[in-house]
Amino acid sequence: MSLEAFISYLSLEKNYSHHTVTAYAKDISVFVEFCELNYQLSSIDDVPYVFIRNWIIVLVSDGLSNRSVNRKIASLKAYYKFLQKIGRIEVHPLVKHKALKTSKKIEIPFSFEEVEKALNAVNFNTDFEGVRDKLIIGLLYATGIRRIELVNLKVKDLDLKGKTIKVLGKRNKERIVPLAPFVCPWVAFYLDSREALPVINDKESLFLLKTGVKVYESLVYRIINRYFSKVSSKQKNSPHILRHTFATHLLNEGADLNSVKELLGHSSLASTQVYTHNSIAELKKVHLAAHPRNKK
């Protein structure tokens, strides 16, 4: 019952996405199974920290990365904080827990040349799917929006006259993002192709399958991976890397960090600062090439 209440709390009060809520529920369910199997407990509401520590040992022994273990423990921590909030427990068992050490993950963005090749050199089909795929890549690079934000775009969110798009971000926060001029004709062309579909079952959603229903997240991932694999040797070709690329390219061209923060829909500047690593690397190259003392 507590777990059901927690899931409702995440969905209704915290406004977490379905994907996030599902991940939290899965992590907690796995811990419940562990306690049932090893300690004959059907409820985890009141467990000592040693049970959680033993679960961590099992997870690490099974080859799970420290980052993945930390994510599972974060789910548990959120659950116990919720139990505190509703007065079910006084002190949660993870109050003194320290996260496992993880190496800092630096994601390498696509170069400008790679993006240009993906948008111009790659042969897109002239049918509906080819037009749609090119716009998906172009819109992700032009706006830096998240994959789920792109999937949830509505036709009414577009303002081609004002060259803006309304985006529904995390926790149902709306923001207006400018549309780069290069992508506007592609939007118009896609809308014509969309209108010509034999059947449109989902009239509100912007991006559709050729069957007339809304696209889904894994399809967007496959589209980015398919086209960028043709022009990039990177192991990871994903929508998130394209978002990372958007932010890095803006910063490299002198954009203000606060402005990039607003465009990305980040709630804090700390989230945006992870994108400055590659910008600083670019600045170092410019400094090395331009400073007169470096030329001696």
Burial of 231 (0-12, 13-18, 19+ CB in 10 A): buried
* pLDDT recorded at residue 106: 66
The pLDDT-based confidence of 289 (bands split at 50, 70, 90) is low
How many structural domains does the chain have? 2
What's the domain range around 23?
Answer: 2-85
* DSSP sequence for 129-149: HHHHHHHHHHHHHHH---HHH
Regarding whether 120 and 32 lie in a shared domain, the answer is no
Does 152 have pLDDT greater than 70? yes
Q: 159: alpha, beta or left, given left = phi > 0 and alpha = psi -120 to 50?
A: beta
Cα–Cα–Cα angle for 67, 73, 77, nearest 5°? Answer: 140
Catalytic residue among 72, 134, 146, 147: 146
| The pLDDT of residue 233 is above 80 | yes
Q: Is 243 a catalytic residue?
A: yes
Q: What is the DSSP letter of 230?
A: T
Average pLDDT, the chain: 88
- Does residue 12 belong to any structural domain of this protein? yes
User: pLDDT digits over 197-219, tens only?
Assistant: 999 999 999 999 999 999 999 99
In a shared domain, residues 182 and 79: no
How confident is the model at residue 252, as a pLDDT?
85
The answer, as to whether pTM is greater than 0.75, is no
Q: Say whether both 119 and 251 belong to one domain.
A: yes
CATH number reported for the structural domain that contains residue 260 in this entry: 1.10.443.10
Tell me how far apart the alpha carbons of residues 14 and 11 are, in angstroms, rounded to a whole number: 6
**Active-site residue flag, 67:** no
Task: List the one residue out of 117, 77, 134, 141 whose CA is nearest residue 230.
Answer: 117
pLDDT at 276: 65
Domain boundary among 66, 85, 104: 85
Residues 194 and 283 in one domain: yes
How high is the pLDDT of residue 291?
Answer: 44
Tens-place pLDDT, residues 58-77: 999 999 999 899 999 999 99
Are 45 and 185 members of one domain?
no
Do 255 and 122 belong together in one domain?
yes
The answer to the question of residue 6 being in a domain is yes
Range in 21-25, 83-87, 168-172, 191-195 the model is least confident about: 168-172
The percent of residues in the chain predicted with pLDDT above 90, rounded, is 67
146 is known as an active-site residue: yes
Query: Catalytic site residue 287?
Result: no
Residues 141 and 201 in one domain: yes
Q: Are 62 and 187 within one domain?
A: no
- pLDDT at position 231 is 93
Residue of 117, 163, 170, 214 marked catalytic: 170
* Confidence (pLDDT) at 282: 52
pLDDT in tens, 78-112: 999 999 999 999 988 999 999 998 876 667 899 99
Which comes out higher in pLDDT, residue 257 or 161?
161
For residues 219 and 127, state if they share a domain: yes
Q: What percent of the chain has pLDDT over 70?
A: 91
Residues 124 and 39 in one domain: no
Residues 158 and 199 in one domain: yes
CATH number at residue 26: 1.10.150.130
- The answer, yes or no, to whether residue 277 has pLDDT greater than 70, is no
**CA 46/CA 42 separation, integer angstroms:** 11
Active-site residue (options: 147, 243, 249, 261): 243
The C-alpha atoms of residue 15 and residue 39 are separated, in whole angstroms, by 34
At residue 77, the 3 state secondary structure works out as: helix
